[in-house]
Every structure is written in structure tokens, then in C-alpha cells.
Amino acid sequence: MFDAQAWWARDVMMNRIEIPNTTAMQADIDDRQTREAAGSDDYDAIWYQGDYVKELIAETDYPSFDLEGACQAFKAWKG
């Protein structure tokens, strides 16, 4: 996740991604907090984080990888 975030931040600094206004950013934060709180367990948190990484990858030229497999691996590790 952190490397995908770094690519996103790089693209902001290179003016490839435009930061939305404060109102739009707050609406996005509120939506993300609502979706995160809707999860009932750690497994939901894994999928929530996976969806977040998908968003970061979609907005950048970050190399594609098996994100579904990564989420499954975290689920297996969690037990």
C-alpha cells in the first residue's frame, strides 16, 4: 500500500493528479470513514484496504499485480 501511495503522491507533485478542493476532500474522507466503519471484522478491513490500493493504482501508472491474491494471502495469514 505504501509504495502505491508514494506513486500517487509523486503524481500529485508532478501535476499529473489534481488535488480536489477542501469540500470534495472532506466528502471523500467522510465516505471512506463510513465504508471502513461498515466492516464487521479484520477480513473486511483487508478488503477495504485492497480496494483503496486499487484506487491508487487506477489513478497512476503503478505496475499492476495480483491484488486479489495479496488480499487472499493476508486473509490466510490472519487465520
- The whole-angstrom separation of Cα 12 and Cα 64 is 19
Q: At which residue does the C-alpha cell 508514494 appear? A: 6
Domain ranges of the chain: 1-10+45-79
- pLDDT tens-digit map of 2-33: 999 999 999 999 999 999 999 999 999 999 99
pTM score, two decimals? 0.87
pLDDT of 32: 96
Alpha-carbon span 37 to 40, nearest angstrom: 8
Q: What is the per-residue pLDDT across 26-64, written as a single tens digit (0 to 9) for each? A: 999 999 999 999 999 999 999 999 999 999 999 999 998
Q: Are 73 and 43 in contact (CB under 8 A)?
A: no
Single-letter code of the amino acid located at 6: A
| Confidence (pLDDT) at 1 | 82
Query: What are 67-77's pLDDT values in tens digits?
Result: 999 999 999 99
